[in-house]
Every structure is written in structure tokens, then in C-alpha cells.
Amino acid sequence: MPEPPAIHVAEAQLTETDLRFPINLATALRLSDARPLIVAAAQASAWVAEAKLTRARVLWVPTFIAGADYIRHDGGGPDFNKGIMTAPSANFFYGGASAALMVNLTDAIFEPLAARQVLQSKQWDIQTAKNDALLMTTDAYFQVHQARGRYVGALYAVEKGEDLVERITRLSKDLFPVLEIDRARNLLADLEQQAIASREAWRVQSANLTQVLRLDPRAVVVPTEPDHLQITIIDPARPLDELMPIAVNNRPELQSNQSLIQAAEARIRREKMRPLLPIVMLNGFQSAGMWLQGGIFGLGPNSSLNQWVGRSDTSYQLIWQLEGFGIANLAKIKKQRGEESRAIIELRRAQDMVVAEVTRAQAKVQSAAARVSQADRSMRAALVAFNGTVEGLGQTKRFGDVLLPVNRPQEAVYSLKLLKLSFDEYFNTVADYNRAQFELFYAMGYPARELAELQPPGDLIPVDTSRPGYLPPVGNGPPPATR
């Protein structure tokens, strides 16, 4: 097959009101590592888990209390000092501070262990969110490429359609009926509508990308790479037996689930030890309500407080307990074992999901790789066929005494329609290939940072990440609380 001539098409058009936003894949991936809201949400969850770990670590630290207590007594009552019934009026005042404590040693020992594993799980969830953001970004980015490529192909088809209408109009006086002009004009009108729809898709997909990356929503994204660019991260020929172990060892979701299993194991040990370890209590005098351990004490009859003295009361208690005579403790152990079993089930479900995602993604990559080659050949063949058909419109051959055209206008119209379809299929399959590559990259568990920072597909370019004043600014991490 002869090599077709180069395709010279006009650049995808922007209007004066469009906000042009040039960007490349490397820059989009760098922005996806922090700006998407799913990353900030995961970071906020990690903050909560970190706060719970801090609280668990200080369960054994007493609570500081400061205050005052005033009691007025009127009427009869026992005088414990004298062993008789008395009936004076009396009042007293007690002001001071205390370091009160009531903690189960089991919680103080094992809860930090469980909380540490929960925090580690949330930290893995941050990486999961970053990987999710990377996949969302690449999907939206190649959707932009696909829509812009189809738009460029539509513009090229419209240009050729206009030339075809003009050519048929000139030749219709001698060779073709006027009906052929209307046939060509009908195709041209359809191509113009497809071009408008493709430009709409370009702007819609730009909005999807700017939403993911939290950029200016008015921007029309203009990738700096050509729309036929193919990104190959993982060789489509790599066997599944090689890919799946990498995915199982690297997916952050699995690491997160394993941390939750370890947290459940720590809580099982906690409940097993609960009857054996005491509750430690540290407060003031052992009578109810007396929390103050040291301060000043004032006493006097009636309404006077004329006897003042320093006072300290400290009570230390160790208490062992069996909840429900031990039956409730056994129930708590069973509950935590159930939580561990549920965490194990979630891990196994995640493992099955991961290997299935690898299988699906590899199938997409291999299929898209084959279809890209086929679409390329189809586009080249369609271009050769269209050019040959148009060239033959002005040529004639003799059949007896009748002069006939070598090619008829409807053949050129049909060839142009096939050329437009081949353009669409080519840009669709290229975008499918790129998306499938990143789906496989995601399924194997590589962090977004590895591609965005260590192996970027191209050099970073400066972009304007500011947004209109009616939208909140994008910061680093979760937004601060309002109160």
C-alpha cells in the first residue's frame, strides 16, 4: 500500500471567550498528588486517627482538677468524732486541686497498640486516595485528548467536504446530476454537526479534568502533547503471573486491611487480659464526691468560717472486676474475634478484587494495543481511498459512444464518511490504550508519586493553578476547622 500523504489539519479552534489552559501529562500527574478532594478527605481521616492514638497514649495520665466545695449543715445529725447526736449549724469550705485517675490497665496497655494500627491503616488510605486521584486524572486527561482529536478529525473532514461540494458543483454541469450536489451538501452538514458536538465534548471533558484537579472551571484544557501520543508504562506482553504478585505486594488497600487485622488482634488480647489487670483509681478522700486531694479547708459553726488549715486527702485503689461474672468478658472476646474475622474477609475480598483488576486491565491493554495498529492502518487506507476517489471524479472513460466518469460522487461521499469514521476510531483507540495503561499501572499498586515525581512522562511546565474569587482556594491538606 503506498504511503499516504501527510495530513495537514487546522489546530483545534478556540473562541475569544475561551480561557486557554495549556498543560501536559507530567504536570497533571503532579497536581493529582495533592489537589483532589479525595486526598484531603483521606488526610483528614488520618488526623482523626492520630488524635485517637494520642488520647490512647495518655490514658494512664491523671486528669487535673481544680475547684472548691462549700457545705452548710443545719439541724441534728451524728457527730462521728464524739459518737453522739448533735444539732448545731455548721459549714465548711474546701478549695484545692487534684490529679484524678480512673483507668483500666488493660485499656492503657492495649488501646495504643490498636490505635497505632488504625492510624497506619489511615495512612495507607492516603496513598490509596492518591492512586485513585491519579486514575481519575489520567482518565479525564485522555478523555480531553480523545475529544480534541475527534474535533481535529472533524475539522479536517469538514474541510475536505467543502472541497468535495465545490468539485461536484463544477463537474455537475457536464458529468453529474444536480442531485449529487445535494448528497454532498447533506454529508457536509452532518460533518459540521459532528464537529460542533466534538468541540462540545472537548469543553465537557476539560471541565471534568479541572474539577478533579480543582483548577479554574472556565478553562479549556489544551494538552501540549499530540492527540495520537501513546503512553506505554507496562509492556502489554508481560504475563499475569508476573504482574499479580507485584499488585498483591504493592496495593495500599491491602496494606490498610492488614493493619486493621493487627488492630483487631490487639483488641482481642485486650479483652482476654481485662479480668486479669486491675482498674487503677486515684482520687481524694474515699467518700463519694470528694475529688480534691489537696488545698485549704475552712470550718466553723453557724455561718462563720474561723478555722482554716491545709488539708490533703489521697486515695489509691486497685480493683479487679468480672463483668457479668465473666460471661460479659467472654462475650467481648467473641465480639473482637468477630471483628478480626470480618477484617480478614475484607482483606481476602480486596485481594480478589486486586487480581481481577489486574486481569481486566491487562486484557484492555492488549486489546487496545492491537486495535490501535488496526485503526492506524484503517485511517491510512481510508485516506488513500478518499484521495483516489476524489482524484477520479474528474476523469472519464468511454463505454461505446457514452463518456462515463471513472468515479461517481456518491463514492467520494461514502469515502469521506469512512475517513471520518476512521479518524474517530483511531483517536478512540489511542485514548483507550492510554487509559488502559494507567488502569494497569493503578491495578499493580504503584503509588502516584512514583510516576509523578520519579518517572514523569515529560518535563513539568508552569501552570496557573489560581481559581476565581467565588471559589475557595486550594491549600495543602484538609481545610482548617472553623472553630
pTM summary value: 0.83
Mean pLDDT of the chain: 85
pLDDT at 1: 38
Distance, in Å, from the CA atom of 195 to the CA atom of 200, rounded to the nearest integer, reads 9
- Mean of pLDDT values over 396-407: 57
Q: What is the pLDDT of residues 162-203, one digit of tens each?
A: 998 888 887 776 666 677 788 889 999 999 999 999 999 999
Distance, in Å, from the CA atom of 265 to the CA atom of 452, rounded to the nearest integer, reads 36
pLDDT at 7: 54
User: Bridge-partner residues for 280, per DSSP?
Assistant: 103, 318
Largest CA distance in the chain: 147
- Mean of pLDDT values over 248-267: 94
> Is 14:203 a contact under the CB 8 Å cutoff?
no
Nearest residue to 375 (alpha-carbon basis) of 230, 164, 220, 226: 230
Helix (H, G, I), strand (E, B) or coil at 466: coil
Q: Who contacts 59 (Cβ-Cβ below 8 Å, separation ≥6)?
A: 103, 107, 108, 111, 112
Q: What is the pLDDT of residues 21-39, one digit of tens each?
A: 999 998 998 898 888 999 9
- Mean of pLDDT values over 397-418: 72
Q: Does residue 262 carry a pLDDT above 50?
A: yes
pLDDT at 113: 95
pLDDT at 308: 85
Q: Who contacts 196 (Cβ-Cβ below 8 Å, separation ≥6)?
A: none
- Mean of pLDDT values over 224-249: 89
Please provide the DSSP assignment of 230-259 as one string: ---SS-TTS-HHHHHHHHHHH-HHHHHHHH
The band of 5, judged by pLDDT with boundaries at 50, 70 and 90, is very low
Q: Does residue 206 carry a pLDDT above 80?
A: yes
Helix (H, G, I), strand (E, B) or coil at 90: strand
Q: What is the pLDDT of residues 266-309, one digit of tens each?
A: 999 999 999 999 999 888 765 555 678 888 888 877 777 788 88
The band of 4, judged by pLDDT with boundaries at 50, 70 and 90, is very low
Q: What is the pLDDT of residues 366-401, one digit of tens each?
A: 999 999 999 999 999 999 998 888 887 766 565 555
Q: Does residue 9 carry a pLDDT above 70?
A: no
Contacts for 237-244 with beta carbons within 8 Å, 24 or more apart?
238/362, 240/358, 240/359, 240/362, 243/358, 243/362, 243/440, 243/444, 244/355, 244/358
Helix 179-213 and helix 409-443: axis angle, to 10°? 20
Q: How many residues does the chain have?
A: 483
Distance, in Å, from the CA atom of 94 to the CA atom of 70, rounded to the nearest integer, reads 6
CB atoms within 10 A of CB 16: 4
CA distances (Å), origin 325, targets 320, 368, 470: 12, 66, 62
Nearest residue to 94 (alpha-carbon basis) of 123, 125, 71, 124: 71
Q: What is the pLDDT of residues 444-476, one digit of tens each?
A: 887 555 555 545 567 888 988 888 888 888 877
Phi-psi region of 23 (alpha: psi -120 to 50; beta: other; left: phi over 0): beta
Phi-psi region of 353 (alpha: psi -120 to 50; beta: other; left: phi over 0): alpha
Q: What is the pLDDT of residues 144-166, one digit of tens each?
A: 999 999 999 999 999 999 998 88
Q: What's the gap between Cα 457 and its chain centre?
A: 21
CA distances (Å), origin 429, targets 133, 364, 368: 23, 11, 6
Q: What is the pLDDT of residues 76-123, one digit of tens each?
A: 665 555 555 555 677 778 888 888 888 999 999 999 999 999 999 999
